[in-house]
Amino acid sequence: MGSWTAKQNKKFEEALAIYDRETRDRWEQIARFVGGKSVEEVKRHYEVLEKDVMAIENGRVAMPKYKTTPESCTTKHHK
């Protein structure tokens, strides 16, 4: 399987939101939307994504710890 560019990954995520499980010819639609990927490549990419999500949900993969600054933790309300 070829590598995926950041743009293709973004398009893939968008396509998943547009073409849900009920969509006729879902994988063909997603492959066309992403561009440059076959239906099989799109299906494999989805399977990898599902496995990653399951690993995170099952606690097998730790969530990254992000550094925060005081500014990022406050909300300013303007009236």
Rounded distance between C-alpha atoms, residue 43 and residue 38, angstroms: 9
Given the candidates 3.30.200.20, 1.10.10.60, 3.20.20.80, 3.50.50.60, the CATH classification of the domain at 6-57 is 1.10.10.60
Residue percentage of the chain with pLDDT more than 70: 81
> In terms of pLDDT, which residue wins out, 9 or 66?
9
**pLDDT band, residue 1 (cuts 50/70/90):** very low
Residues whose CB falls within 8 Å of the CB of residue 4, separated by 6 or more in sequence, listed in order = 12, 37, 45
Task: Give the residue extent of every domain in the chain.
Answer: 6-57
pLDDT single digits (tens) 27-58: 999 999 999 999 999 999 999 999 988 888 88
What DSSP character marks residue 69?
-
**Per-residue burial over 14-32, b = 16 or more CB atoms within 10 Å of its CB, e = otherwise:** ebbeebeeeeeebbebbbe
pTM of the model: 0.69
* Average pLDDT rounded to a whole number, residues 2-27: 95
Task: Name the token pair of 34.
Answer: 């992403």
